[in-house]
Amino acid sequence: MRLYEQPAHVLHDMLVNKEITSVELTKDVLARIDEVEGDVKAYLTITRDEALKQAAAVDEKIGRGESISFLEGIPGAIKDNICTKGVKTTCASKILEHFVPPYDATVTEKIQAEHPVILGKTNMDEFAMGGSTENSAYHPTCNPWNTQCVPGGSSGGSAAAVAAGTAIWALGSDTGGSIRQPASFCGVVGMKPTYGRVSRYGLVAYASSLDQIGPIARDVTDCAHLLNIIAGHDEHDSTSSAVAVPDFTKSLVADVKGLKVGIPKEFFVKGMDADVEKTVRAAVKQLEALGAEIVDISLPHTEYAISSYYLIAPAEAATNLERYDGVSYGERVDGSGIVEMMTNTRSAKFGEEVKRRIMIGNYALSAGYYDAYYLKALKVRRLVKEDYDKAFEKVDVIVAPTAPTPAFKIGEMISDPLKMYLQDVCTVPLNLAGLPGISVPCGYSSSHMPIGLQIIGKALDEATVLRAAYTYEQSQTFSKEMPELGGKKA
């Protein structure tokens, strides 16, 4: 048994009990990177030397007999759209190819305060736009369960690293499913907290009213610990919630007796993968067997959520990405004047999907179209949210598939953006409604690709979501399973 196979909470206990050192652990994970990163390509930047220094410092601390925090000395990775002072943050875009932030994101500060070992920055779809990590300007990431397949996206690098054992934990961001869908594809646990639960300060904005940072981990326990670290109000983020943060590890109780679980009929859509439906329905049965009360519910505006999302998100993206103009930071492609310089820079350095969304967004915001598109999309967003408000009068959590299919083949959908957008059908509504959701592994497709179960909660009620997820997780072994990779099963 290798150390990289263990979840953080096990490794933490081993460090505390001096069964291992952080340097041993870090070296083991770095060795795993050497073994499989060439196949997986989860990282954009690996900070090997810095990681070993951090590990050594933690070992010294343990040697002095000092107590350590949960994450202390445990190697993890950060998605490349979260600012890290002094470490390149490219958003997987050519336009920020050499951008080194002079400041830390609030979550980076909070994580660093725990003294973990940071291994580096993970690959993603450029500016978080995509669901396969194929839109990275550098290279696609491969799914550790089958390197012919995508890891999902946009946090594909974070999910693949945790799945492959090249990181014990990771941070991702979720605008329309970008944590949950890759977690589902890679057989790991990924959580999108309530909008406002985690500060967005230092998260390079894609769609500000939808973006949310969250953890990707081996199991629900690690997820709860990570959420404890990153959650909370931030004076630098006006949209962060001032509501007190509970101790999420208190939710790690295997008990769903009497919990009302809603099953929305609209999520079991036509064209949904048969394996996914079968697996998710089996998980629902399992929850019922564990004592949950299953309630059929309806979320009637679900089918409009994608259309609403693909107007609101590009509109916000169009303005958020205006700052990349070659003037004061980022890459520049010269031209004969300021307008030409800006045009050349943006034409050359943004990828196709980013340009597509900028075009859609600007179109939706332009004079004469605003009411027909953007404003209407906002109205639909409200209707989607009201669906959930009503549903949550009857149920405590809602359970659904995370994605309509298991991981698909690299290149399979890249030429059909609309088909790709439909991948987000099960995840996007939560972002529109601002609700928390988690994806936990619940089985495999016939070709042995992981399938995720999505558990959705009321706003700011991550606690109940985690309890339901933990209870389900404890009843089976999917979260403990790792992919065969590099010719040997972990």
Partner 1 sequence: MSYEAVIGLEIHSELKTKTKIFCGCATAFGAEQNTHVCPVCLGLPGVLPVINKRVVEFAIKAGLALNCTINKFSKFDRKNYYYPDLPKNFQTSQYDLPIAEHGYVDIDTEKGRKRIRITRIHMEEDAGKLVHSGNTIKDSDSSNVDYNRTGVPLIEIVSEPDMATPQEARAYMEKVKSILEYIDVSNCRMEEGNLRADLNVSLRPEGTETLGTKAEMKNINSFKAVEDALSYEIERQEEILEDGGHIVQETRTWDPDKGITLSMRTKEEAHDYRYMPEPDLVPIVTTDEEIDAYRKNLPELPDARQKRLEDTYGLSSYDAGIITASRQMAEYFDAVIADGADAKLAANWMMGDLAKNLNAEGKTIEESPVDAKRLGQMIVLISKGTISSKIAKKVFTEMWTSPDAPEKIVKDKGLVQITDTKAIEAIVDAVIAANPKPVEDYKAGNKKAIGALVGQVMKQSKGKANPGMVNKLLAAKLDA
- Minimum CB separation of residue 418 from partner 1 in Å reads 24
Q: Is there a contact between 41 and 121 (Cβ–Cβ < 8 Å)? A: no
SS3 content of the chain, % helix, strand, coil (to 5): 40, 15, 40
- Residue 358 touching partner 1 (CB under 8 A): no
Reduced to 3 states, what is the DSSP secondary structure of residue 356?
helix
Residue 221, C-beta contacts closer than 8 angstroms, at least 6 positions apart: 7, 9, 249, 252, 470
Q: By C-beta, is 120 or 187 nearer to partner 1?
A: 120
Q: Is there a contact between 223 and 191 (Cβ–Cβ < 8 Å)? A: yes
Which residue's structure tokens are 């390079």? 204
Under rule CB under 8 A, how many of the chain's residues touch partner 1?
44
110 is catalytic: no
Catalytic residue, from 154, 155, 158, 173: name it. Answer: 154
DSSP code, position 407: P
Q: By C-beta, is 239 or 476 nearer to partner 1?
A: 239
Q: By C-beta, is 367 or 418 nearer to partner 1?
A: 367
How far, in Å, CA of 72 to CA of 205, rounded?
A: 28
Segment contacting partner 1 by CB under 8 A, of 13-21, 182-190, 323-331, 464-472: 323-331
DSSP string, 195-224: TTTB--TTBPPSSTTT-EEEEEESSHHHHH
- Minimum CB separation of residue 395 from partner 1 in Å reads 29
The residue from 3, 25, 105, 280 that contacts partner 1 (CB under 8 A) is 105
How far, in Å, CA of 267 to CA of 369, rounded?
A: 31
Q: By C-beta, is 65 or 102 nearer to partner 1?
A: 102
Segment contacting partner 1 by CB under 8 A, of 55-63, 130-138, 287-295, 358-366: 358-366
- Residue 404 touching partner 1 (CB under 8 A): no
Adjacent-strand bridge partners of 440 = 453
Residue closest to 451 by CA, chosen among 140, 272, 160, 183: 183
- Minimum CB separation of residue 207 from partner 1 in Å reads 8
The contact pattern for partner 1, residues 280-319, with x = CB under 8 A and - = no contact, is -----------------------------------xx-xx
Segment contacting partner 1 by CB under 8 A, of 88-96, 257-265, 399-407, 471-479: 88-96
Q: How far is CA 333 from the centre of its chain?
A: 32
Is residue 307 reached through a cis peptide bond, with omega within 30 degrees of 0 on the bond before it? no
H-helix or E-strand containing 295?
Answer: strand 293-297
The residue from 307, 344, 362, 476 that contacts partner 1 (CB under 8 A) is 362
Segment contacting partner 1 by CB under 8 A, of 182-190, 237-245, 407-415, 453-461: 237-245
How far, in Å, CA of 484 to CA of 490, rounded?
A: 6
Q: By C-beta, is 49 or 235 nearer to partner 1?
A: 235
How far, in Å, CA of 452 to CA of 464, rounded?
A: 18
The residue from 275, 325, 386, 481 that contacts partner 1 (CB under 8 A) is 325
Q: By C-beta, is 101 or 187 nearer to partner 1?
A: 101
Neighbour tally for 279: CB within 10 Å: 23
Print the SS3 string covering 304-350: HHHHHHHHHHHHHHHHHHHHCCCCCCCCCCCCCCHHHHHHHHHHHHC
154 is catalytic: yes
Segment contacting partner 1 by CB under 8 A, of 139-147, 202-210, 295-303, 472-480: 202-210
Q: By C-beta, is 378 or 414 nearer to partner 1?
A: 378
How far, in Å, CA of 352 to CA of 189, rounded?
A: 30
How far, in Å, CA of 309 to CA of 329, rounded?
A: 30
- Residue 112 touching partner 1 (CB under 8 A): no
- Quickly list H helices, 113-269: 156-164, 180-186, 220-230
The residue from 96, 188, 426, 428 that contacts partner 1 (CB under 8 A) is 96
- Residue 87 touching partner 1 (CB under 8 A): no
- Minimum CB separation of residue 251 from partner 1 in Å reads 29
- Residue 97 touching partner 1 (CB under 8 A): no
- Residue 340 touching partner 1 (CB under 8 A): no
- Residue 231 touching partner 1 (CB under 8 A): no
199 is catalytic: no
How far, in Å, CA of 411 to CA of 490, rounded?
A: 27
Q: Which residues does the annotation mark as catalytic? A: 79, 154, 178
Contact residues for partner 1 (CB under 8 A)?
Answer: 81-83, 89, 91, 96, 99, 101-103, 105, 200-205, 207-209, 235-239, 315-316, 318-319, 322-323, 325, 327-329, 338-339, 342, 362, 365-367, 370, 374
